Homo-oligomer: A and B are copies of this chain.
Amino acid sequence: MALKEILLTPGPSQVPHRVRAKLAEPAWYHRSSRFREIYKEVRAGLQQVFETQSDVLVFTGSGTVAMEAGIVNIVGPGRKAVVVSAGKWGERLVQIFEQFKLGIDVVKLEYGRSPSPEQLAERAKDPAVQAVYVHLCETSTGAKYDIEAIGKAVRAANPEALLAVDGISGAIGMACPLDAWGVDLFMAGSQKGLMMPPGLSMLTVSPKAWKVVEGNKGAPTYYSSLLRARKDLPNNDTPFTPGNTLFDAQNEALKMLLEEGIHNVHKRHATLAQAARAGVAALGLELFPDSPAEVLTVVKAPNGIESSAIIKYARDRFGVTLADGQGDMKGKVLRLAHMGYCSGMDLLSGLAAIEFGLKNAGAKVTFGSGVAAAQELLAKAPKDVWM
């Protein structure tokens, strides 16, 4: 039999059958009422799952388009941003600032750490600071940042500063009510909690952020121009040819999330995260981040074993795809994602695959011990947590 695969990487995540059926539909014309209705519904659905009244723009492209849009339209000449860099995705934010030669004050932390609200507030005091950029989850390390507390501290220090959050991996899986927590710019991608293949990215823009965008009319950007995208919003249209079949499928995925209920979605992810942590603890694996996120569990490879070997065996022998560390972290950490269309059984498969990989690499493992520890927690989950 060809390997029956289970995808447990922190993006792309699994895509439900209902959504894949939409992706296989015949092509259709994008300058049409069909597209305008879909784009309207998609944006309304995204407002619901992101818990915001802010405008939501959808770009055809990688999450990086939303990142670029959320930076280059915001930080103008003579202004600067505070940017946390404690992993590969913080480094990506910094790279974008550098490419566009924008003002930046980097808060560099060791991989696996999360920033304290106080240290960000201290940096945000400078009146030249236009915005503070953080992640909901730094996907490369599995670290969760405390967006609510960071927002409060930054606003107290500098009420003019915007709060910009890279939610590309954290969105949907992790609670982050944008309006309640005062998030002005929120970046997301289709291929994580939004249960789609990669190809769409999203950016929310608060009224406070729009004012800043309006003051940056000369921003050096075309494809990621927010003013250009806003011009077409009243017509539910996009300035450039949208990936319309992807929008249609994203709409279906949003319907599924809304049927489950966004708070149930958060509870499901929290339950899976607790079970994952119990599972890896039972296998003697140490968590990598100080403050672990709900959408993936990142553990250190045990002494003398390369995580790459565990991952390769799990994938080649049992069809379970886990993720390796990125850049310098390759071989040193193992990333088990439980985001998006992920069930309790998927998680147990992930843990069983880690057990196989550890045993194959020569580690002392009792088969089923990680799985059993997770089962204990899954069995105790409240009935309204769908899995």
Q: Is the CB of A243 within 8 A of B30?
A: no
Give a binary string over A30-68; 1 marks a CB under 8 Å from any B CB, 0 the rest: 111000000000000000000000000001111111001
Cβ of A26 within 8 Å of any chain B Cβ, yes or no, is: yes
Whether, in the assembled complex, A13 has its beta carbon less than 8 Å from a beta carbon of chain B, the answer is yes
The residues of B that contact A60 with a CB separation of less than 8 Å are 60-62, 198-199
Residues on the B chain within 8 Å of A13, using CB: 27
CA of A240 to CA of B68 in the docked complex: distance in angstroms?
12
Interface size on A, residues (CB 8 A): 55
Q: How far does the alpha carbon of A30 sit from the alpha carbon of B323 in the complex, in Å?
A: 11
The one of B11, B101, B197, B221 in contact with A99, judged by C-beta atoms closer than 8 angstroms, is: B221
Closest B residue, CB atoms, query A69: B223
**Is the CB–CB distance between B242 and A62 below 8 Å?**
yes
| Cα-based distance from A92 to B174 in the complex (angstroms) | 40
Q: Give the shortest distance, in Å, between A350 (CB) and chain B (any CB).
A: 13
| Contact surface of A with B, Cβ cutoff 8 Å | 5, 7, 9, 11-15, 20-21, 23-32, 59-65, 68, 72, 95-96, 99-101, 189, 191, 197-199, 218, 220-225, 240-246, 321, 323
Given contacts A61-B61, A65-B61, are A241 and B191 in contact (CB under 8 A)? yes
Cα–Cα, bound, A324→B14 (Å):
39
Contact call B24/A12, Cβ cutoff below 8 A: no
Q: A99-B225, A222-B99, A241-B191 are in contact. Are A27 and B199 (CB under 8 A)?
A: no
Q: Is the interface of A mostly helix, strand, loop or mixed?
A: loop
The interface residues of chain B lying within 8 Å CB-to-CB of A197 are: 27, 243-246
Quick one: copies of this chain in the complex?
A: 2
Residues of B within 8 A of A245 (CB): 23, 197-199
21 contacts between A and B (CB under 8 A): A11-B241, A13-B27, A14-B26, A14-B27, A20-B25, A23-B245, A27-B197, A32-B321, A60-B198, A61-B65, A62-B223, A62-B240, A62-B242, A63-B240, A72-B222, A95-B222, A100-B220, A189-B241, A197-B245, A220-B221, A243-B243
Task: Please give, as numbers and ranges, the residues of chain B lying within 8 Å of A225 by CB-CB distance.
Answer: 99
Which B residues lie within 8 Å of A218 (CB)?
Answer: 101
A15 to B25, CA, bound (A): 9
How far is A220 from B102 in the complex, measured between Cα atoms in Å? 11
Nearest Cβ in chain B — how far from A250, in angstroms? 12
A241: B residues at CB distance < 8 A:
11, 62-64, 189, 191, 198
B7 touches A243 (CB 8 A): no
Bound Cα distance A246, B9 (Å): 18
Cβ-neighbour of A96 out of B15, B20, B222 (below 8 A):
B222
Most buried by B among A27, A197, A199, A218: A27
Please name the residue on chain B nearest to A189 by beta carbon. Answer: B241
Residue pair A244, B7 in contact (C-beta under 8 Å): no
Closest 6 pairs (CB-CB, A-B):
A24-B24, A199-B243, A220-B220, A61-B61, A62-B240, A197-B245
